[in-house]
Structure 1
Amino acid sequence: MSHVPHELAEEFPEFVEKMSELKVSDAHFAKMFDDYHELNRKVHRAETNVEPREELSEVDLRKRRGSLKDEIYAYLKAL
């Protein structure tokens, strides 16, 4: 279990500029970006016991974050 936040800029450094542009020009991307940030924050807070969760709840959050990260990556690659 990692206690390091998985920020999108760190996950996809090759797309930092593109993500910055899309956050202001593409409403769909902006929503995915915001949703990922919120899920990532919840996972990080659970992993560091700032807001502890039951194990299954934490696993579900991680799965949702991973799925959304995959969706964001596919979106970035398609453009």
Structure 2
Amino acid sequence: MFPEYRDLISKLKSSDLHFQKLFDEHNELDQKIKNIESGIAIDTSETIESLKKLKLKLKDELYEILKKASK
């Protein structure tokens, strides 16, 4: 996710607790979605859709923080 911001992501993960929380939550959702889609975990398609929407919302928030911090 956002390879162009790799260094900034590392910096923010260690200095910005809000960013770190969002980043970790995004990664947890990503793993949960992968587990459901691969059959490791059982869930409904409605849940997958809502998880994907939440993941996208978090990704948007992370991107906004990265854009502001890169200025």
- TM-score, normalized by length of structure 2? 0.92
1:42 maps to what in 2? 32
Which stretches of structure 1, 4 residues or more, deviate above 4 A after TM superposition?
none
Residue among 33, 46, 50 paired with 2:23: 33
Residue among 49, 57, 67 paired with 1:59: 49
Q: What whole-Å deviation, never above 9, does each CA across 1:27-60 have from its counterpart, x for those lacking one?
A: 1111111111111111111111110210100110
Unaligned runs of 5+ in 1: 1-10
Number of residues paired by the alignment? Answer: 69
Is 1:72 paired with 2:62?
yes
Percent identity, please: 38
Greater percentage in helix: 2
Unaligned runs of 5+ in 2: none
Which of structures 1 and 2 has the larger relative contact order (alpha carbons within 8 angstroms, sep 6+)?
Answer: 2
